Structure 1
Amino acid sequence: MTNYENLPLYAVNVKVFVKVGLIDSIGWTKRFLFCLIPIITYVGQIIHIFKSWNEDMGETSMNLHILLLKTHCLVRLWLMVKKPKDFERFFQCVEQWYRDIERNGDPQMVGTLKEITKRTQLLSKMTIYVAAGGTIAAFFYPLSFDRRKHMITVQYPFVDALQTPFFEFLFLLQVLCLAPIILVLTLPFTNIYLISLMFGELVLKDLCVKLRNIRSENEETMLQEFKKCIAYHQKIIALCDDLQDLLSMDGFFHVALFGMMLCMLLFFLSMIHDLRLILTILTFVSYTTYMLFTTYYYANNLATESLEVANAAYDTPWYRGNLEMRKCVITMIARCQKPLQMKAGGLYPMTMETFQAILRVSYSYFSLLQGLSQQ
């Protein structure tokens, strides 16, 4: 069993990916079976949307939203399958860093580390409850209709998905296998991203504490301590670059798809009067908005905290140091003028301003669709 699998910071989130064989796995059987079911369902859903495009615009918009959600899940699945070793190395780096702060860190930072660990464990518990509730909802939602209906409507050539025994087989396959797979790719994956951002913010705070603790009267000692802080800062930058490389593509699809997903949900909501469907759509809208908000909130916190390093460097007694010390301080301050930003696809900075822009674009799409439907 790997050390990072038992890291309290990530709680059960990393263990889930280990158990299903997406990381830390030699064999490919688990990984193949985990990928097969979403792909088969995705193909069947595309066929259904293509064949029922002109039947009901509201139903089509709901199907498109689910298709976009599945697309995002498949992007995450592709990232996990493509870069399992990169994820493992990242988790190992975080695990070693976590243990180092736990053993040798400043008492203030050790207390902050414990507080963040408690928050992440609470987040993980909430994930378990949401996953259990989502699985139960996935089972009862199709049963609440008078006609036969799957959780995700699909069609396949030469097969009637609503006839026995295909209906029962697909129903159980979606509820017992597909729903947990979607929840795994949505909740633990997002939790790992959020926890990694929180840890990045923590080590930046640790760097600021180290800089402000430089108080030696000896010029050479002060210079050596400051150079250690520079190396520590470089290590933080490398950690953020690794996180960026791992999840940049996921962030891009999040930005690209979220506007359309929210637009489809709002459009479908404006066309239905069934209370059951209205509550379902409102739940989707709330959940999707919350997940995007929390991701951009913690990414924004990381960028803000990275700018604070410049203030901490200026707070050092550089005026008592030698010329090399002063040059090092100027270099660090200059480097910190550019924040450590996570970028979606390497293009869009993940800040609260970008989050607001996405909401505005989503509402613009919705207004356009609603106007076209009323003509």
Structure 2
Amino acid sequence: MFEDIQLIYMNIKILRFWALLYDKNIRRYVCIGLASFHIFTQVVYMISTNEGLTGIIRNSYMLVLWINTLLRAYLLLADHDKYVALIQNFTTAYYDLLNQNDPYISKILVNLNRIGHLMARGNLFFGMLTSMGFGLYPLSSNERVLPFGSRIPGLNEYESPYYEMWYVFQMLITPMGCCMYIPYTSLIVGLIMFGIVRCKALQHRLHQVAIVHPYGDRDARQLKEEIIGCIQYQQSIIEYIDRINELTTMMFLFELMAFSALLCALLFMMLIVSGTSQLIIVCMYINMILAQILAIYWYANELKEQNLEVATAAYATEWYTFDVALRKNILFMMMRAQRPAAILLGNIRPITLELFQNLLNTTYTFFTVLKRVYG
């Protein structure tokens, strides 16, 4: 059923092609096997390398990206049934909204699909652009280097024909890793975006209560059913967000710690690289990190804000004119909305733009310390 939903279809289609969702075929073992072998060679290289600081930072960045890519693949396989159930829950909720035939709801769903589709394509484009940066980096170097620092025990990877063969292998595996990494992020962001739409739909429904059931001309039974329906819908939104948190919260924590360190190192790398081409490639690396983090933090922050707005919408129902029992229900609804459901970081704190700002501030602080130490 999700084939008609542009918000997630492209991402699921790519993950399905690599047999990480729904299907199970040889491509699953090919992508995971090659990625695992590649990470092994990177680890061997990092342990044994005598390369300078620039090379260590660059290869550390790539190693973390590949570990994160493989981690996402394993999470998809380990929690496959939970991801499928979440997508099914999303699909059911999406068509429930669509079938209401409400002009306001239809408009925001159309806008949601448009933005989600553009975001999925844009993320893939920037991912492929960064992949090109990996491949072009050796061409800007004065000596033989590989797109990813890696070493196979017993072989000299810089001698012909091993160098050429290993270069081709890395250039072939890079788009595959990109297609494992980027669609997962776009899928999770798409699910978060739909949570925002559900909050807006609930706000719209609450705003309609005072219009459809005005004071002095209302059916008490119908009003009660509508309020109970709104409370149940609020609870379904909370459960939906909890499902997303269950699958992603620890991964977001790992990414925050890893990307904070890498962002600081890459900023420092900008000071010590030689040549405009290398500087441009480092900027591409930084942009990829910021684009991946900002997309998640932006929409996670918006989800929290829209959950808070539910309380305002509930107050606009003119609840103070209701019967005592309904007043209590609305008050409890407002109290729950003021403790908003949010995407959590390691089940500790909500992901917000304030947290993103703190990340940038902390990163810049460590960067200035490194700059002073190394002159």
Structure 2 length as normaliser, TM-score?
A: 0.93
- Structure 1: distance between partners of 2:364 and 2:192: 28
Task: Indicate the SS of the match to 2:272.
Answer: coil
Query: 1:305 corresponds to which letter in structure 2?
Result: Q
Query: 1:34 corresponds to which letter in structure 2?
Result: C
1:130 positional shift: 3.0
- Structure 1: distance between partners of 2:349 and 2:159: 47
**1:42 and 2:39 equivalent?**
yes
**What residue is the counterpart of 1:318 in the other structure?**
319
Q: List aligned pairs for 1:150-299, cutoff 5 A.
A: 150-177=146-173, 179-214=174-209, 215-216=212-213, 217-299=218-300
Deviations 1:19-68 (A, max 9, x none): 100010244x3222111112111121121122125x41222122222222
Contact 1:219 1:320 in 2 (8 A): no
- Structure 2: distance between partners of 1:48 and 1:4: 43
Deviations 1:176-233 (A, max 9, x none): 12x1133123321221122111111000000011112123211221111100111111
**What residue is the counterpart of 1:4 in the other structure?**
2
1:274 positional shift: 1.4
Task: Indicate the SS of the match to 1:9.
Answer: helix
Contact 1:59 1:268 in 2 (8 A): no
1:144 positional shift: 4.1
Q: 1:62 aligns with which of 51, 58, 61?
A: 58
Q: Kindly, what percent of the aligned residue pairs are identical? A: 24
- Structure 1: distance between partners of 2:125 and 2:65: 20
1:143 positional shift: 3.6
1:330 positional shift: 1.0
Task: Indicate the SS of the match to 1:213.
Answer: helix
Aligned in 2, Cα 1:238/1:21: closer, same or farther, shift over 3 Å?
Answer: same
- Structure 2: distance between partners of 1:270 and 1:142: 19
1:138 positional shift: 3.9
- Structure 2: distance between partners of 1:82 and 1:149: 36
Contact 1:5 1:14 in 2 (8 A): no
- Structure 1: distance between partners of 2:294 and 2:123: 16
Aligned in 2, Cα 1:11/1:106: closer, same or farther, shift over 3 Å?
Answer: same
**What residue is the counterpart of 2:15 in the other structure?**
17
Deviations 1:121-146 (A, max 9, x none): 22223234334434444444334445
- Structure 2: distance between partners of 1:163 and 1:213: 72
1:258 positional shift: 1.4
**What residue is the counterpart of 2:138 in the other structure?**
142
Aligned residue pairs, count: 369
Task: Indicate the SS of the match to 1:147.
Answer: coil
Structure 1 length as normaliser, TM-score?
A: 0.93
- Structure 2: distance between partners of 1:6 and 1:274: 47
CA RMSD of the aligned region, Å? 1.8
Q: List aligned pairs for 1:348-359, cutoff 5 A.
A: 348-359=349-360
Q: Which runs of 5+ in 2 are unaligned?
A: none
- Structure 1: distance between partners of 2:366 and 2:64: 15
- Structure 2: distance between partners of 1:132 and 1:354: 28
- Structure 2: distance between partners of 1:229 and 1:46: 53
Aligned in 2, Cα 1:255/1:139: closer, same or farther, shift over 3 Å?
Answer: closer
Query: 1:194 corresponds to which letter in structure 2?
Result: V
Deviations 1:315-347 (A, max 9, x none): 113233222111101110111111122111112
Aligned in 2, Cα 1:135/1:361: closer, same or farther, shift over 3 Å?
Answer: closer
Q: Which runs of 5+ in 1 are unaligned?
A: none
